[in-house]
Structures are given as C-alpha cells and as structure tokens.
Amino acid sequence: MKLEATALTKRFKRLVLFRGLSLTVQPGMSVAVVGPNGSGKSTLLQILAGLQWPTKGTVCFSVEGQEVTREEQLLQIGFVAPYINLYTDFTARENLSFLAKARRLPEAAARIDALLDRVGLAGRGDDPLRTFSSGMVQRMRLAAGLLHRPSLLFLDEPVTNLDDPGRMLVQSVVAEQTAAGGAVVLATNAAAPTSWCTDRLSVTDYT
C-alpha cells in the first residue's frame, strides 16, 4: 500500500484552505495532520481517502506497485470521524453486520464479536445505538472503521467524546495498525494524539 498526494490545492470560492500540499504515506507510517479549526484538516483527510476531490493536484493509491480504482481504494481504507453516521435504530451488532455485507466480508460474526470486545462494547452488542452515550457511539465508529482490516486508517479527531480509557484505546489502535504493516493518517487539535504519530504535517504550512 502506498498513498501519494501531489501538489494538492483545495479552494472554496475565494477561500483557499491549502495549496501545493504533497504527502507520501507508506506501511508503518503514522502521520498527524495538525492545524487550527477551519484550517482544512478534515477536508484534506477526505481528499486523501477519495471522498472529496481536490481543486488541483492528484492522489494516487497503489497496492503492490499498481494503482487501484477508487472503488478498490474505498475497500482498502478505514475512516473514523465524529460526523460519520451510524444507524441509531440498529443494534451495535446489526450496524457492523450491515457494513460487513456492504464490504463483502464473508463469515463476519466472529470478527464483529472480537471488535465489540476490542472497543469495550462486548456487553452492549444487542442494544440499539440510540441507547448509547456519545462516547460509546464514537467507539462504534472505531469498530466500523477497523471491521475490514484496512491497510490505511484515517482518524479525524478520533478522541472526540472519549474518556481516558477511550483515548488509550485509540492510541493502542494507532500502534497496532502500524506494527501490523498498515498506516495511519490522524487529524487532531489535541496534543496527545499528535505524540502517538511518527510524522507530522501542518496544514497551515501550505496556505
């Protein structure tokens, strides 16, 4: 897996969030994307993940040296953010089962059980998300992002609404992802998550 972003510019009418931004992400890397509110961190992650288009520049996602299609890229990445919506009338298990089918994951029941345990929700798997606290829903977003074992994990403000054990959970996920040969791109305003990463990119350096 390799992600190469070259000379990215993102403009909304007269507002330029960043220009000339280049970044390479390879296995084992963890990159903290930093900058103040409104600087374009979330937008950059969405462009890198193929969820938005840049105004200028290119993003290339390759596997074993071969560029993959956008559809294949979306199966290779995980995306975790506070604005990612889940189905509140579904149980935790039903949400993950739905995503497993969408991502063509066979025999996902054991994987779902393991993930619910991993994010501290093993006892709540059959409860609807409308009964969850905001922190529990954020843990569910993390489980959803990890479900298909992505090679590249995007974390946008991943510690939002989390308590100390939840923040430690995210830290361990970053470490495990890179140790297993994957990569992480993490956008944050908080100091602690920045320290979990091996590399740092400030969006304000490209304004």
Mean pLDDT of 90-115: 95
Number of domains in the chain: 1
Distances from the Cα of 206 to the Cα of 7, 12, 168, 196, 198, angstroms: 10, 15, 31, 23, 20
Does the pLDDT of residue 107 top 90, yes or no? no
Which of 44-48, 71-75, 96-100 is predicted with the least confidence, judged by mean pLDDT? 71-75
CA distance linking residue 1 with residue 90, whole number of Å: 33
For the stretch 151-194, pLDDT in tens is 999 999 999 999 999 999 999 999 999 999 999 999 999 889 99
Nearest in space to 142 (alpha carbons), one of 109, 166, 107, 122: 166
Instruction: Tell me whether strands 30-34 and 77-80 are parallel, antiparallel or unpaired.
Output: unpaired
Q: Which domain holds residue 29?
A: 2-206
State residue 106's pLDDT score.
Answer: 87
Calculate ∠ Cα 122-166-3, nearest 5°. Answer: 100
Identity of residue 174: V
The domain spanning residue 51 has which CATH number? Answer: 3.40.50.300
What is the Rg, in whole angstroms, of the alpha carbon atoms belonging to the chain? Answer: 17
CA distance linking residue 63 with residue 140, whole number of Å: 28
Total count of residues recorded for the chain: 207
Does residue 107 sit in helix, strand or coil? Answer: coil
pTM equals 0.97
Does residue 183 sit in helix, strand or coil? Answer: strand
